[in-house]
Chains A and B, each alone.
Chain A
Amino acid sequence: MNVAMKWEQFERYQPAVVKMITKSLEKGRISHAYLFEGQRGTGKKAMSLLLAKSLFCLNRSGINPCNDCRNCRRIDSGNHPDVHVIEPDGQSVKKEQIEMLQQEFTKMAVESDRKLYIIEHADKMTTNAANSLLKFLEEPRPGTVAILITEQYHRMLETIISRCQVFSFKPIPPVLLANYLEEQQISPHIAFLAAHVTNNREEALKLSRDDWFAQARKIVLQLYETLKKNDLQALFFIHDQWLPHFQEKEQIDLGLDLLLYIYKDMLHIQLGQVDKIIYRDRLDDLRQWSLSCSQRQIVKSMEMILRAKARLNTTNMSVQLLMEQLILDLKK
């Protein structure tokens, strides 16, 4: 999935985190549990795998793994028997998954004397799973390293956080990312939006080159225009355009983000912060729109979109109902 990874590569984006991890690698003082916390695309997963490789690599040069030995290659392909990566099974990380991990760790390592586990989206652990893990974190065995990854630090149990060494990954400034995308021949209006949607360079590039994303942008802007005019029309628009285009959960989530940015932009205009505007090519329209609503209204609308986003991720509500309700709420 990636070319040879090295710690130096991450230094530009996450100087503080890289410095702390590399120092502890140099000194051989690896903690028993880490919590990598930060926005999507800030390199948490990549760095956790790099740390795994640095620990398991057979011919490490300094602190960097060779990326070519049996162990490095197997960590990349997910086949190393002593490195376990747990991802949410559906909506959440289930108790059974943690139990399996626990059983695995009652035994000696398969090949080496070290064991490492990575839990992605650790905030999505069910309460039961989190409590099982807690017991496990409390009594670490020698040679065991845990890396928990989360985008939502505040959803983690206090008791888990207090048992981990926390590394906060800083978001990459969108302007930097947008500039990078423009260098890659991406048109500015797409680049700027993509840079806000994700923090990951590869992902942003992929999105920008995807027709789906350009189309999504168009639909969201159209939706807002329709919404301005007539609420009944907006409901039809949802059926004809929105629902067929945004199908997967992640896509809907992204669509709601795009909608949120419109309101954000209007707020920025009202506050006179024109440099922060995301939909730059529509500046005139935005100015026009922002005249017709108060700050309070905008903030309230943003709140509704955020609530819809939360519902989308935490409940099994039908998407159609969710969108219809949002439209009616926004119109009020």
Chain B
Amino acid sequence: MKITIDREALVQSVQDVMKAVSSRTTIPILTGIKITATSQGVTLTGSDSDISIESFIPTEEEDKVLVEIAETGSIVLQARFFSEIVKKLPEKTIEIEVHPNFLTVIRSGKAEFNLNGLDAEEYPRLPQIEEENVFKIPTDLLKTIIRQTVFAVSTSETRPILTGVNWRIEDEELICTATDSHRLALRKAKIETENHQSHNVVIPGKSLNELSKILDDSNDPVNIVITANQILFKTKRLLFFSRLLDGNYPETSRLIPTDSKTDIIVNAKEFLQAIDRASLLAREGRNNVVKLTTLNDGIIEISSVSPEIGKVTEEIQSESIEGEELKISFSAKYMMDALKALDGTDIKISFTGAMRPFLLRPLHSDSMLQLILPVRTY
């Protein structure tokens, strides 16, 4: 392999793929970045085996030559050193040449580095992409979907499958579900697909958090491909691969109550602030529990008692209360997480009794839903 490459483009790409490279890995080859030169351009790959990021530098972009390929080929170079080296090289272009035994020479101006490379054949092979199974979501929507679901995944490894977000694709609709068995977040979105394939996969929450970090706020579409073992997100500059979780996601549709006994409509922001204040005292206590009581004339009382510290009560005016009177306790943290994830100014909360899970929904949309299990108090 022998290439001459624009430094800025390379630095940018190396920075992108470095996000996937982990310093503590059990597979030695993954401490490196794979560089592949083909006649179309140069591909860089970084991976920690859970997620892999691929960045492509085309030979030319907007009439500017970025890469000159003298000889195609591939090599794996130690990520830690390579990223530092390219950042600090003096000239605008960098020459990379691979000699036999994977000895790699990096030249820029008068500076010359000799790095011992590794065999690119040893690098894990990423799944081949079949362009026909693609579906598209705008970047900003994808980011929102991730934000609205991923917080609810389980952090405990006792049920590993719950550490991921379930993505179901049926009839041009994407349904994302995350639960830690105390609460559940569900988000639906319309997507563009070319064929009507259905999928049911579980993506690790950690991977989605990482993905969310590298996505920008544009509304360019992200192409998504699901393969047997991995899911691929394809943006303009990057390919992001994540491994999928193994196992069956529990059936969650049965958990969501269909009828309700008490319906409350409140302003999300006011409600959130009231819960936040009430939890100031509850936070110290065992499980951060606040109590909600319906009063007359559409007034809701939020209260919390911690015997050693003190108590707090606050009344807020709701838009409307319909149905039976209610006293219910729940985790303030779960409630705040859910309220933060919901868009829209007014939300509707549907209760089916003090011992049954309740639902939070934006008033004018059914694309999103949050479910919380109450806490039993005496």
Could you list which residues of chain A lie within 8 angstroms of chain B, going by C-beta atoms? 70, 73-74, 77-81, 84, 99-100, 102-111, 113, 141
B246 touches A141 (CB 8 A): yes
Given known contacts A102-B157, A103-B160, A110 and B124 CB-to-CB distance under 8 angstroms: yes
Q: How far is the CA of A107 from the CA of B124 in the complex (A)?
A: 16
| A107 with B204: CB separation less than 8 A | yes
Most buried by B among A81, A102, A141: A81
The answer to whether B229 touches A110, judged by C-beta atoms less than 8 angstroms apart, is: yes
Are B228 and A84 in contact (CB-based, < 8 A)? Answer: no
Whether B50 and A107, one on each chain, are in contact in the complex, defined by CB atoms closer than 8 angstroms, is yes
Report B-chain residues with C-beta under 8 Å of the C-beta of A104. Answer: 49
B53 contacts across to A, CB distance below 8 A:
none
- Asked whether, in the complex, the Cβ of B27 is within 8 Å of the Cβ of A81, the reply is yes
B122 and A79 contacting across the interface, CB-CB below 8 Å: yes
Known: A79-B27, A81-B49, A100-B26. A107 touches B122 (CB 8 A): no
B1, CB-defined interface residue at 8 Å: no
Q: List 7 A-B contacts (CB under 8 A).
A: A74-B29, A102-B157, A104-B49, A107-B243, A107-B246, A110-B243, A111-B124
Using Cβ atoms and an 8 Å threshold, which residues of chain B touch A81? 27, 30, 49, 124
Q: With an 8 A cutoff between CB atoms, is B245 at the interface?
A: yes
Specify which chain B residues have a CB less than 8 angstroms from the CB of A100 in the assembled complex.
26
Q: Whole-angstrom distance from the CB of A305 to the nearest CB of chain B?
A: 38
CB of B229 within 8 A of CB of A79, answer no
Look across to chain A and name the residue whose beta carbon is closest to the beta carbon of B26. A84
The docked-state distance in angstroms from the alpha carbon of A111 to that of B246 is 14
With A100-B26, A106-B246 already in contact, the answer to whether A73 and B121 are too (CB < 8 A) is: yes
Chain A residues closer than 8 Å to B230, beta-carbon distance: 108, 110
- B95-129 vs A, CB cutoff 8 Å, 1 = contact: the mask equals 00000000000000000000000000111110000
Residues of A within 8 A of B49 (CB): 81, 104, 110
Residue from the list A70, A99, A107, A110 in contact with B157, Cβ < 8 A: A99
B250 at interface (Cβ–Cβ under 8 A)? no
Q: Contacts A107-B204, A108-B229: A74 and B246 contacting too (C-beta < 8 A)?
A: no
CA distance A110 to B48 in the complex (A): 11
Chain A proximity of B202: nearest CB distance (Å): 9
Query: Which of B50, B243, B246 is the most central at the interface, judged by chain A CB atoms within 10 Å of its CB?
Result: B246
Q: Which residues of the partner chain B approach A106 to less than 8 Å between Cβ atoms?
A: 157, 160-161, 163, 245-247
Known: A70-B121, A74-B122. A108 touches B27 (CB 8 A): no
- Knowing that A74-B29, A107-B243, A111-B124 touch, tell me 15 more A-B residue pairs with CB under 8 angstroms: A70-B121, A73-B122, A77-B122, A79-B28, A81-B30, A84-B26, A102-B160, A104-B49, A106-B160, A106-B245, A107-B245, A108-B230, A108-B244, A108-B245, A113-B228
- Which single residue of chain B is at the shortest CB-CB distance from A143? B246
Specify the chain B residue showing the minimal Cβ separation from A109.
B229
Residues of A within 8 A of B28 (CB): 77-79
Bound complex: CA of A80 vs CA of B29, how far in Å? 9
In the complex, chain B residues whose CB is within 8 Å of the CB of A78:
27-28
Residues 179-237 (chain B) with a chain A CB within 8 angstroms: 204, 228-230
B12-62: which residues lie under 8 A (CB-CB) from chain A?
A: 26-30, 49-50
Residues in B whose Cβ lies below 8 Å from that of A99? 157
A104 to B163, CA, bound (A): 13
Closest 4 interchain pairs by CB? A106-B160, A79-B29, A108-B229, A81-B124
**Within 8 Å CB of B161, what residues of A?**
106
Query: B224-269: which have CB < 8 Å to A?
Result: 228-230, 243-247
User: B239 → chain A, closest Cβ, in Å?
Assistant: 16
CB neighbours of B245 from chain A (8 A): 106-108
What separation, in Å, do the CA atoms of A101 and B166 have in the docked complex?
23
Q: Give the CA-CA distance A111 to B243 in the complex, in Å.
A: 10
CB of A111 within 8 A of CB of B229, answer yes
- Which interface residue of A102, A106, A113 has the most chain B CB atoms within 10 A? A106
Report the separation of the CA atoms of residues A77 and B121 in the bound assembly, to the nearest whole angstrom: 12
How distant is B91 from chain A, measured CB to nearest CB, in Å? Answer: 34
With a cutoff of 8 Å between Cβ atoms, the chain A residues found around residue B123 in the complex are 79
Interchain CA distance A266-B123 in the complex, whole Å: 56
The complex places the Cα of A166 from the Cα of B182 at a distance, in Å, of 42
Chain B residue numbers with a CB within 8 Å of A79 are: 27-29, 122-123
- Distance from A58 Cβ to chain B, minimum over Cβ atoms (Å): 11
Distance in angstroms between the alpha carbons of A103 and B161 in the assembled complex: 10
Residues of A within 8 Å of B26, CB to CB, are 84, 100
B253 to chain A, nearest CB (A): 23
The residue in chain B whose Cβ has the minimal distance to the Cβ of A105 is B246
